[in-house]
Chain A
C-alpha cells in the first residue's frame, strides 16, 4: 500500500455500495467471461439503478444495449464502474469514468500486484491515478461487491445472499462467497460484502471504518491474512470495535498456514500470539474457523449483548443439557449459573417432581401443552440470568414430519395431531423470540435439525423470527462466548452495552 495521502470518504463508499447507476466495463456476450457473469448477476439480483455495459463491439448483452465508449454514459448517471478489462487499458478507462462523475471502481481485472514486478508497477500507478481522480478503487484482482439494500450483486461469482445486518470484507474473494453461502443456509443475511482483492488502495480496515458508520450494518466480519501497518491497523480496529462488534478470522495462524498465506496474498508471517493479543486488546472477536466466524457475526446481528456471563440452559429432555453444561464450563468467560433458590421453588410449582431442579433445567418430558413456553419465560426473566441456551426444539415437528410423510396420513387422527405438533413448535420458538425482545437477553436455540431437517417447524420458527438456529449446542455456546467476551470488553472500558 503506497501512501495514505488520499483518504476515502463516506461518499466514496456510498458510490460503491449505493450507486445511482453501474457501468460494467468489458461486458461480454460470452457466458464464460467475467464481463458476462458480472452483468448477469447485477441484472438478475434486481438492482434498481441504471446498468451500462461497455465493450469494443457494442450490440446487446442480456437485452441491454452495450456502449462502445464510456463517454456515451449520461453525465451523473453512474457512480460505480465494475472493471473486467485488461490491466493495460484501465488507466484510460478510469480517467473516462471520472469524467462522467463516477467516484468508485471495482477492479476485477488481474495482472497487478499478484503478477510480478511489472504488475506491481501497474498497481502503484493505478493507486496514484485513483488519488488524482479522487476515486475509490477496490481490488484489483477482486471478485466483487454486494450491497443488499441496493439489491446490488456486482460480482463474478455466486451466490447473492439475503438482506441482513452483517458487513463483510475479505482478503480472499472465495470467503465472501462462503459467508454468503452461510447467509443463505441460515437465513441471517448480509448488508454489504466486498472482496478486497490486492487491497491496493483500500484494505480491510478502511471497510471496517465504513461499516462502523453504515446505518445498514450492525456487525463487521473480516477475513485477513496479513496487515501492512500493524500499529495503525490496531488503533483503527480498536476505534471500530468501540462502535460495532468486529469478528475476525485470520488465515496463516500456524506455521503451515503462514507459508500458504505467503503464496496466496504475499502476507508476512505474524507471531500469532501477538496477533491474538492485539485482537483481545482492540476488542475484536477472533474466530478460529469461517463457520465459527459467520455464526459469531450472525449472533451479534440477531441477539442483544448479554450483560454478564451467567448462562441458563433450558432443555425439554435428555442429555443435551448435560453436554451443553460441559461446553459452557469449558468456554471462558461463560459461567453455568447456579440455580437460584427462588427460581427452583417457582419451577417446582410448574414441573413434575422428576425435573432436574438444577441448571440445566431438564423438564424431563413431563410437560403439558403450555409448560415449555411457561418454563422458558419464567427462567429467562430471572434477574440472575444473562443468557439462555434453549434445547430440545423440533421433536414434535420431527414426529409431525414423519407422520405427514407416512402412508397413514391424514387418517387415524394424524392430520389433527400433525397440525398440533407444528403449532406447538411455532409457539415455543415464537416465545423464545418474544423473550429476546422483552428482556434484551440472548436466547439461543440449538438443534441439529437446522441441518438435518431445515423444514422442521421449529427450525422454520427460529428463522422466521430472524434469528440463527444453531446446528449444535456447542456452536451456540461458542457464539455466546464471543458475545460475553465483547460485552465484558466494553463494560470494563465504560463503553456500555
Chain B
C-alpha cells in the first residue's frame, strides 16, 4: 500500500502507533537477541509467532521472515537464530518481534488511505488470500462517526462472515466500530499518517485483533 513519498514504519512501531488509537493488538514484544526472544515467548505464552522486523522491512512474508506456530522454547530459539541470520545489510537496524499466535477462521482488512479527489479515507473489507479477488470493501471519508462505521459494516456483501461462523461467535460489531472510528481519529489527530494497512485483522472469538499492521508516514 506504500504509495511513494513517505516511509513505512516497522510492524512494531506501526502497532504502537495504532494501539494508541484503540486498535486491538495481540500481546507482542520487540527484542534484540535469541535469548530475549525465548524470554518474551515464555512471558506471552505459547504458541507464538516470531518475525524479523525493522523500518526497512515491509514484505516479511515474501522474504520468509515470519515463523508461525512456535510451541516451545526450542522452536523459538531455532526460529529466532535463523531470522537474525536472514537479515541483509540494507535492512538496517533489525529486531525480533515475538507475538501471541491468535487463531480465528475469519480474516478482515482495515486501513486508511489517501484518495486524490476526496482526501483521507477509512476502509474495512474481507481479508484473507482471496481478498483482492473478492474485493468486498466499504470505504468512507475521514472523519466518520459510529453511525457511519456501523453502516460500513452493513455495506459489506459478505454479511454471513459477520454472524456466527464455524463454531465461533458473531463478530463484535461494537469492537469493529471502535476500531474504524479509532482509525478515523488517528488520521485526524496525526496528519503525518499517509496510510494504514491492517492485514490481517483476525477475528478471535468474535473480537477483531490486528495481527499485522503497516503505517506509512509522510516524508
A interface residues (Cβ-Cβ under 8 A, vs B): 227, 230-231, 234, 268, 270-271, 273-278, 280-281, 332-333, 489, 492-493
CB distance from A380 to the nearest CB of B (A): 27
Give 14 CB contacts A-B under 8 Å: A231-B118, A234-B118, A270-B117, A271-B115, A274-B117, A275-B118, A276-B139, A277-B152, A278-B118, A278-B141, A280-B140, A492-B150, A492-B151, A493-B147
B interface residues with partner A (beta carbon < 8 Å): 115-119, 121, 137-141, 144, 147-148, 150-152, 154-155
Q: Are A268 and B140 in contact (CB under 8 A)?
A: no
Instruction: Decide if B138 touches A230 in the complex (CB within 8 Å).
Output: no
Distance A49 CA – B75 CA, assembled complex (angstroms): 90
Chain B residues with CB under 8 A of A231: 118-119, 141
Q: Which residues of A contact B137 (CB under 8 A)?
A: 273
A333-B154, A492-B147 in contact; A277/B116 too (CB < 8 A)?
A: no
Q: Which residues of B contact A280 (CB under 8 A)?
A: 138, 140, 151, 155
Q: In the complex the two chains form, is A281's CB within 8 Å of B115's CB?
A: no
- Name the B residues within 8 Å of A489 (CB-CB): 151
- State which of A227, A274, A493 has its C-beta within 8 Å of the C-beta of B121: A274
Of the candidates B118, B140, B148, B151, the one having the most CB atoms from chain A within 10 angstroms of its own CB is B118
**Which chain B residues lie closer than 8 Å to A277 at the CB level?**
121, 138-141, 152, 155
User: Looking across the interface, which residue of chain A has its beta carbon closest to that of B147?
Assistant: A492
Cβ of A230 and Cβ of B115 under 8 Å apart? Answer: yes
Given A273-B139, A276-B139, CB of A281 within 8 Å of CB of B144 = yes
Bound complex: CA A32 to CA B150 (Å) = 56
**What's the minimum C-beta distance from A201 to chain B, rounded to whole angstroms?**
21
| Cα(A280)–Cα(B148), bound, Å | 9
B139→A234 contact, CB < 8 A: no
Cα–Cα distance between A333 and B138 once the two chains are bound (Å): 16
Q: A386 vs B119: C-alpha distance in the bound complex, in angstroms?
A: 38
Inter-chain contacts of B150 with A (CB < 8 A): 492
Tell me which residues across on chain B come within 8 A of A270, comparing CB atoms.
Answer: 117
Residue of A227, A271, A489, A493 with most partner-chain B CB within 10 A: A271
Closest 4 CB pairs between A and B? A230-B117, A277-B139, A230-B118, A274-B115
- Complex Cα distance, B150 from A230, in Å, reads 23
Contacts of B141 in A (CB 8 A): 231, 234, 274, 277-278, 281
* Cα separation A280 to B152 with both chains bound (whole Å): 9
Point out the residues of chain A lying under 8 angstroms from B119, CB to CB: 230-231
Kindly provide the distance from the CB of A105 to the nearest chain B CB, expressed in whole angstroms: 29
Cα distance A277–B136 in the bound complex, in angstroms: 12
Find out whether the CB atom of A332 lies under 8 angstroms from the CB atom of B118. Answer: no
Q: Is the CB of B118 within 8 A of A281?
A: no
Q: Across the interface, do A227 and B139 meet the contact criterion of CB distance under 8 Å?
A: no
A274-B155 CB under 8 A given contacts A231-B141, A281-B140, A281-B141: no
A492 to B150, CA, bound (A): 10
